[in-house]
A and B are shown apart, each in its own frame.
Chain A
Amino acid sequence: MRYDDPWYDALASGWGESDGLGGHAPVPEAGHEGRASEDEAAAAADVYLEVQRSAAFQEVRSRYRRFVVPGVAVFLVWYVGYVVTATTAPGLMAHPVAGAVNVAMVAGLGQFLTTFLFAWAYARHARLRRDRAALELRWDTQELTRGVRGGAS
């Protein structure tokens, strides 16, 4: 466990202690404590492992993944499919739909529409299904790491 890690620096080093690797961050709570000892770093690492294994975190992570993985797969396939079809089958894309509007125009404007829809759906999912649980985990984790640091010094 090394302690010249930027995260530990950010948490444990104050203003004057410039070590050139990002020791300039103002960190109000921990600034006076000086550099973390290896024990503290190891204990903080245990906190993160513990949180990672907790049911609450696993739930947040799987909610995130269950939305994001299929989402990314769908829009990438839809976009790559669109580009490949447009370059390899222009005849199909030129097929008229209504007036001057053809398949290509519908597909192109459809890309805009699906992008807006995906973005809206993601934001809604994150707001309703993840934000609250993530915030609680954040406070719990920070309480735990603070407890570890406070107890060891």
Chain B
Amino acid sequence: MTGNHQTLALFLFSAFIAVTLAITTWVSRNRHGSAEEFYAGGRLFSPMENGFAIAGDYMSAASFLGVTGLIALFGYDGLLYVVGFLVAWLLVLFLVAELVRNCGRFTLADVVAVRMRERPVRIAAGTSSVTVSVLYLVAQMVGAGSLVALLLGGTSAAARAWTVIGVGALMVIYVSLGGMRATTWIQIVKAVLLLSGTIALTVLVLLRFHGDFDRLLLTAAERSGHGDAFLAPGLKYGGDWTARFDFISLGLALVLGTAGLPHILSRFYTVPTARAARRSVLWSIGLIGGFYLMTIVLGFGAAAIVGPEAVRGSNAAGNTAVPLLALTLGGGANSTGGTVLFAVVAAVAFATILAVVAGITLASSASVAHDLYASLRRRNAKPRSEVAVARVASVGIGVVAIALGLLARDLNVAFLVGLAFAVAASANLPVLLYSLFWRGFTTRGAVWAVYGGLVPALGLVLLSPVVSGSPESLFPGVDFQYFPLQNPGLVSIPLGFLAGWLGTVTSAEVPDEAKHAETEVRALTGAGAA
């Protein structure tokens, strides 16, 4: 990559940072520091604004760069991976969005704690929410480090470390000063930038093939060297049965995990009613679906126009497929068009990462302050403002994420994202669905459902080939690998549901019929919603 790219890309990065910091100061100029304002942006966003913000929260750099790279290298298997990210939204729309908006106030634990003894349930749900958020954050930080190093050509360890620290510092500033209102506007700006960039590239790819998708596919298959196999499943997730079960496990985690992601749940509280929550999910399904359809075109376009060898030569995981495609579409490495398109794509990817980390940091600081701090602080301690605690928590989470991001810098980003989804599906989804729909659900059931999903999910990863026993694992020297799959979802999700059921049937607690009536009436009608 030449100096021109870097200068222009750096200029665009700085412009984005300046704009987002301006938004943050503008928004925080007349804040009143209430919890409603900090966690939920005053609950007055319109469905369209929230739909864009949800899409901005969800479309991470891992999809923009990772998925297109996957398709460019492995063809159809990349598409197979992407489908789960979209179908997951049906579960959110049907079972979660409206009911959570009606029942809760700021976090997942709010929904569960209503029917149960509050303290144990809040601690459990808060712990699992923070765990999911931190895993997801680390994935984004690692991605940011390698992305910027890749795009700016500075592959030195120092450049990556400083990128991770810079991203961490920026996200703490956005969140602690601007709260939900600033975070939401940053998501909206990012979603618009990302979608415009993707639309522009997709149009250029389709123009190149005169709008003939069939020719695009045939050219991609031909250049890939795999022929027709490139357009059918099996190149990446085929192979032995372990690889196949691993993919089924990942697919399950993706489709069930979205409904348990804390930063997605907290977005439903930023609109005034359940109906607005439903309409914002509809917006986001449209935007996210359109975005993923375009990434499919870009992925096959990169295979057809750039060619898999060139993609692999630049980055073995394929993460630079889209930037390379932009460079070629613009007219090549030394043309003005190529330089501009490349810099735009790099800046968009950077904006994507910044916005996603801000959203997750906000959700996890809400869990720390609203659930964990509120339940764990000493009874006679001087009560502090919850928002002040949340601001401090966002700094703490920023520090933890920076430290883990630096430690985990060699882990595969897609694996980390899959793991976050698996933990969300195992620990958060069972307790959420049970408390919304099961009349007999009890406190013990809720606590067991959370820990019964969380502990196996994390334990199985420790025993998986990711941590030990293979040349690519974290500790290649030792071997305590007893679980063959990289993604624990296939086992830990059923365990979470099972533990919740078992805890409920074995507890002596009589489920409170009135509390259940209250949950059900509030969930479906919105009576007394915050």
Residues of A within 8 A of B (CB): 4-7, 10-11, 18-22, 24-26, 45-46, 48-49, 51-52, 57, 60-61, 64, 68, 71-72, 75-76, 79-80, 82-84, 86-88, 90, 93-94, 96, 99-102, 104-105, 108, 111-112, 115-116, 118-120, 122-123, 126, 131, 134-135, 137-138, 141-142, 145
Point out the residues of chain A lying under 8 angstroms from B214, CB to CB: 99-101
Known contacts A22-B105, A83-B248, A131-B275, A112 near B83 by CB under 8 Å: yes
**CA gap between A120 and B36 in the complex, in Å:** 31
Q: Which residue of B lies closest to A99 (CB)?
A: B214
Once the chains bind, are B231 and A10 in contact (CB under 8 Å)?
Answer: no
Chain A nearest CB, measured from B160 CB (Å): 34
B117-131 interface bits toward A, Cβ cutoff 8 Å, 1 = contact, 0 = none: 010000000000000
Once the chains bind, are A138 and B527 in contact (CB under 8 Å)?
Answer: yes
Contact of A134 among B89, B231, B293, B525 (CB under 8 A): B525
Once the chains bind, are A57 and B231 in contact (CB under 8 Å)?
Answer: no
Q: Which residue of A lies closest to B119 (CB)?
A: A21
Q: In the complex, given contacts A18-B383, A48-B514, what are 12 additional A-B residue pairs having Cβ atoms less than 8 angstroms apart?
A: A6-B105, A22-B35, A22-B370, A25-B35, A72-B91, A86-B80, A87-B238, A87-B244, A87-B247, A108-B83, A112-B293, A137-B521
Contact of B86 among A19, A111, A135 (CB under 8 A): A111
Interface residue? B440 (CB, 8 A): no
**CA gap between A94 and B520 in the complex, in Å:** 47
Residues of B within 8 A of A (CB): 34-36, 76, 79-80, 83-84, 86-87, 89-91, 93-95, 98, 105-106, 110, 113-114, 118, 214, 217-218, 221, 228-229, 231-234, 237-238, 244, 247-248, 251-252, 255, 275, 278-279, 281-282, 285-286, 289, 292-293, 370, 373-375, 377, 383, 385-387, 513-515, 517-518, 520-522, 524-528, 530
Point out the residues of chain B lying under 8 angstroms from A76, CB to CB: 91, 255
Once the chains bind, are B90 and A24 in contact (CB under 8 Å)?
Answer: no
Count of inter-chain pairs, beta carbons less than 8 A = 204
Contact of A64 among B90, B255, B524 (CB under 8 A): B524
Point out the residues of chain A lying under 8 angstroms from B522, CB to CB: 7, 48
Q: Which residue of A lies closest to B75 (CB)?
A: A104
Q: Which residue of A lies closest to B81 (CB)?
A: A83
A-B contact pairs, 8 of them (CB 8 A): A45-B517, A45-B518, A57-B525, A108-B83, A112-B83, A115-B289, A137-B525, A145-B528
